[in-house]
């Protein structure tokens, strides 16, 4: 038997000759404490896991994202084998691998003749549909079990959403704080306010030293995966050399501890700041571990609240973190499942452009994009403001089709999973869902980037100009975006002020902007 991973699995329990229950574990369901796993009887039940190229190719997946999923799956499988849980595991380099979940599930059913197939709710409609169809073809039904790794069940989200004219994340978040009794004192928000965003917009000027985030050195099992990914996906985007993500629970717990003791103290204060050479700043960088279920949201929030209670971090920093975990993250999941499979196809602004080729290489002279895209290529990561206000904002104001943007985001970040990436990109970043997630487009000129970063200081473009050879492209495209969508945006109360500025613009200036934006889009390969 070749390969360290296969050697480690070789001593595990074999699937029973006739399996009673075949339980599927997908790459983002690696919670060893899940109720679905606790219920298994090793005498008659088998866990099924498969590495398939389909999942790294249905959108172009960053080398680090593919490596993270596969390495974490393998460590999880080794832990199952050590627990003597019977396991059918198909590796990427298995010569009989059909390279689709459907194909591998069909083979597993044919070999093990299970009476029942179960899976925890898949995080993507596409996967759920494919698994359901495969089971139906085999004359079996697929039992989809609730995912207990979130703080809010889908049923509870629906109950909250029912009858509301619009879904507002802030109200959902407040309700969750009350329901879970987190930072609530006698029914009121601890400290008197639900939200400390006003204190969390500091610019990173003369900062304290930023402690490095947790970096896990790849172990031999992970290194084996890295070599396999390089060999199997030679054209995949991104670089693998700096891979450092937690691939097993004990590493994820270490990353959480390091964040709580070293970085939480300034997390909120600088959460919107961007700075060259600081891709992580004070962000937790725990989203990938959370999305793979190596960590639970409950333990992350409990650790942050404990730090606040022990005087280790102030309320604005802790509340900002808590809001991201039990507010924003769970709100996105609720929207994804409530809106159904058609959500990712929405294109409310009818944008049709292609993604600029430099999104895959970082090769651009726009300094902010060069840095933010460079971080993604290097780490498979960028924090929420570089995603929303630089990379997403540029695609929005340049007129890129939201599906192209969603595919890029889904594949290029190590934490990319459909239930969170779709509402975050299609809804929040690209305003393509007719205003379900965001009340107005997150469109901004270069002025926002200048205020929140040091990128503009060493950029060949002039952030004070909106037309002319040296004008900041964000400025040109921002005003062009308002001009192109003036009819749609005119009725948006939150856009009133900016739209009135646009309407007052001289005709000659608006024509100049339109002409320059069109030339820019052609030059950048957008149209
Ligand atoms: Fe980006 Fe414009 Fe600033 Fe250059 S001037 S860094 S393009 S916002």
> What does the pLDDT read at residue 342?
95
Residue 46 backbone dihedrals phi, psi, to 5 degrees:
-125, 140
Is 148's pLDDT higher than 60?
Answer: yes
User: pLDDT grade, residue 207 (50/70/90)?
Assistant: low
Is 206's pLDDT higher than 90?
Answer: no
* Cβ within 8 Å of residue 196, ≥6 positions away: 268, 315, 316, 319, 320
Is 1's pLDDT higher than 70?
Answer: no
* Partner residues linked to 90 by β-bridges: 50
> What does the pLDDT read at residue 330?
98
Q: 191, exposed or middle or buried, with CB in 10 Å at 0-12, 13-18, 19+?
A: middle
3-state SS assignment for residue 49: strand
Dihedral (C-alpha) 65, 107, 39, 84: value to the nearest 10 degrees?
-80
Cα 420 from chain centroid (whole Å): 6
Q: 447, exposed or middle or buried, with CB in 10 Å at 0-12, 13-18, 19+?
A: middle
Ligand 1 mutation pick, 461, 467, 475, 477, max ligand atoms within 8 A of CB: 461
> What does the pLDDT read at residue 11?
85
Euclidean distance between CA atoms 493 and 484, whole angstroms: 18
> What does the pLDDT read at residue 90?
97
Q: 377 C-alpha to center of ligand 1: Å?
A: 20
Q: Are strands 188-189 and 184-185 parallel, antiparallel or unpaired?
A: antiparallel
Dihedral (C-alpha) 423, 428, 431, 434: value to the nearest 10 degrees?
60
Average pLDDT, the chain: 96
What is the tally of helices (H) and strands (E) in the chain?
25, 7
Residue nearest to atom 1 of ligand 1 (CA): 368
pLDDT single digits (tens) 65-104? 999 999 999 999 999 999 999 999 999 999 999 999 999 9
8 Å CB contact between 70 and 231: no
**Nearest-atom index, ligand 1, CA of 461:** 5
> Six-digit token pair at 7?
């050697």
Mean pLDDT for 500-523 is: 95
* Partner residues linked to 471 by β-bridges: 462
Percent of the chain with pLDDT over 90: 94
C-beta atoms surrounding 196 within 10 Å: 19
> Six-digit token pair at 270?
């600088």
8 Å CB contact between 364 and 358: yes
DSSP string, 316-341: HHHHHHHIIIIIIIHHHHHHHHHH-G
Dihedral (C-alpha) 8, 10, 13, 14: value to the nearest 10 degrees?
140
> What does the pLDDT read at residue 25?
98
Residue 183 CA neighbour count, 13 Å, CB half: 32
**Nearest-atom index, ligand 1, CA of 462:** 5
> What does the pLDDT read at residue 512?
97
Hunting for tokens 């595919």 — which residue is that? 407
- CA distances for 317 relative to 197, 270, 438, 521, angstroms: 9, 9, 23, 40
DSSP annotation of 407: H
Q: 367 C-alpha to center of ligand 1: Å?
A: 6
**Nearest-atom index, ligand 1, CA of 367:** 6
- CA distances for 359 relative to 3, 26, 95, 370, 414, angstroms: 35, 29, 34, 9, 16
Domains and CATH numbers, the chain: 3-145 (3.40.50.620), 154-213+263-339 (1.25.40.80), 358-523 (1.10.579.10)
Q: 393 C-alpha to center of ligand 1: Å?
A: 12
Is 422's pLDDT higher than 90?
Answer: yes
User: pLDDT grade, residue 17 (50/70/90)?
Assistant: confident
Which residues, judged by CB distance below 6 Å to any ligand atom, belong to the binding site of ligand 1? 366-368, 446, 449-450, 455-456, 459, 461, 463, 472-474
Euclidean distance between CA atoms 59 and 69, whole angstroms: 15
Euclidean distance between CA atoms 147 and 80, whole angstroms: 19
Mean pLDDT for 472-481 is: 98
**Nearest-atom index, ligand 1, CA of 449:** 8
CA-nearest of 443, 284, 260, 433 to 348 is: 433
Residue nearest to atom 3 of ligand 1 (CA): 456
Euclidean distance between CA atoms 447 and 453, whole angstroms: 10
> What does the pLDDT read at residue 71?
98
Mean pLDDT for 33-39 is: 93
Euclidean distance between CA atoms 360 and 371, whole angstroms: 13
3-state SS assignment for residue 217: coil
Hunting for tokens 């866990």 — which residue is that? 47
Mean pLDDT for 450-454 is: 97
CA-nearest of 320, 351, 502 to 430 is: 351
């Amino acid at each position: 038997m070749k390969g360290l991973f296969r050697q480690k699995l070789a001593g595990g329990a074999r699937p029973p000759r006739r399996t009673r229950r075949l339980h599927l574990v997908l790459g983002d369901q690696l919670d060893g404490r899940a109720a679905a796993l606790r219920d298994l009887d090793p005498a008659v039940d088998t866990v099924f896991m498969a590495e398939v190229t389909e999942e790294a190719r249905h959108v172009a997946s960053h080398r680090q994202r593919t490596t993270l999923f596969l390495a974490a799956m393998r460590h999880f499988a080794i832990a199952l084998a050590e627990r003597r849980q019977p396991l059918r595991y198909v590796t990427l380099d298995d010569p009989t691998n059909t390279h689709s979940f459907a194909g591998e599930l069909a083979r597993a059913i044919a070999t093990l003749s299970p009476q029942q197939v179960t899976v925890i709710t898949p995080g993507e409609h596409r996967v759920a549909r494919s698994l359901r169809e495969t089971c139906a073809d085999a004359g079996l039904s697929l039992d989809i079990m609730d995912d207990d790794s979130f703080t809010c069940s889908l049923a509870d989200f629906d109950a909250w959403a029912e009858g509301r004219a619009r879904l507002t994340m802030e109200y959902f978040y407040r309700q969750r704080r009350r329901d879970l009794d987190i930072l609530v004192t006698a029914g009121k928000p601890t400290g008197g306010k639900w939200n400390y965003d006003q204190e969390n917009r500091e610019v990173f000027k003369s900062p304290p030293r930023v402690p490095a985030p947790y970096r896990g050195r790849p172990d031999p099992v992970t290194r084996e995966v890295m070599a396999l990914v390089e060999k199997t996906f030679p054209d995949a985007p991104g670089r693998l050399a700096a891979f450092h993500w937690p691939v097993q629970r004990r590493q994820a717990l270490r990353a959480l501890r390091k964040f709580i003791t070293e970085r939480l103290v300034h997390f909120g204060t600088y959460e919107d700041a961007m700075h060259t050479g600081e891709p992580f700043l004070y962000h937790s960088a725990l989203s990938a571990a959370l999305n793979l279920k190596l960590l639970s949201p409950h333990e992350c929030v409990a650790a942050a609240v404990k730090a606040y209670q022990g005087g280790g971090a102030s309320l604005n920093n802790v509340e900002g973190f808590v809001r991201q975990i039990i507010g924003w993250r769970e709100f996105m999941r609720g929207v994804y499942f409530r809106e159904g499979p058609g959500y990712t196809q929405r294109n409310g602004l009818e944008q049709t452009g292609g993604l600029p080729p430099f999104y895959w290489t970082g090769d651009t002279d726009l300094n902010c994009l060069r840095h933010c895209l460079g971080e993604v290529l290097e780490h498979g990561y960028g924090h929420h403001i570089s995603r929303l206000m630089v990379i997403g904002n540029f695609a929005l104001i340049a007129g890129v089709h939201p599906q192209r943007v969603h595919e890029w985001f889904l594949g290029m970040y190590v934490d990319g999973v459909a239930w969170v990436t779709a509402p975050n990109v299609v809804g929040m970043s690209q305003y393509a869902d007719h205003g379900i997630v965001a009340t107005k487009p997150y469109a901004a000129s270069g002025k926002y980037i200048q205020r929140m970063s040091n990128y503009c200081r060493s950029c060949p473009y002039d952030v004070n100009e909106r037309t002319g050879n040296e004008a900041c492209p964000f400025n040109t495209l921002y005003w062009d975006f308002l001009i192109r969508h003036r009819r749609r945006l005119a009725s948006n109360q939150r856009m009133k002020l900016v739209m009135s500025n646009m309407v007052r613009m001289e005709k000659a200036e608006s024509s100049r902007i339109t002409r320059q934006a069109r030339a820019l889009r052609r030059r950048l390969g957008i149209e």
